[in-house]
Amino acid sequence: MYKNLFHEEKAFQRETFFRRMQEYGFKNMGRMELFLWDLELFLQIQNILGDRIVLKGGAATQFYLPIEAQRTSVDIDMLFFGTEEEINKTLD
């Protein structure tokens, strides 16, 4: 089921979320899971569009903050350096 994902199946298991909540002090398991899926979706899109798409905003900021200052994000902001035609061609 998880064979086409970038993250390992274990990353999506409740026990893993619970352990990470305990370890890093996160409070909301649902938001943690949504954030993981946001990152997974971004990696899938980046796999198709390459370095012409970059993560920005709150989701990207989390990679530069110390663990104790991190929070989960509920959306992903991306910039695409290309044209609408390139996106449509890629999706065909």
Q: pLDDT, tens digit, for every residue of 15-69? A: 999 998 898 888 888 888 888 888 898 899 888 888 899 888 877 787 788 877 7
Cα(73)–Cα(34) distance, rounded to whole angstroms?
A: 8
pTM of the model: 0.75
Q: Where are the domains of the chain?
A: 9-91
Q: Say if residue 48 is exposed, middle or buried (CB neighbours under 10 Å; 0-12, 13-18, 19+).
A: exposed
Q: Say if residue 79 is exposed, middle or buried (CB neighbours under 10 Å; 0-12, 13-18, 19+).
A: exposed
Segment 62-90 mean pLDDT? 80
Question: Residue 66 has what pLDDT?
Answer: 82
Tokens matching residue 67:
């663990």
Question: Which amino acid is present at 14?
Answer: R
Confidence of residue 1 (pLDDT cuts 50, 70, 90): low
Please list, in sequence order, all residues whose beta carbon lies within 8 angstroms of the beta carbon of residue 31, skipping any fewer than 6 positions away: 72, 74
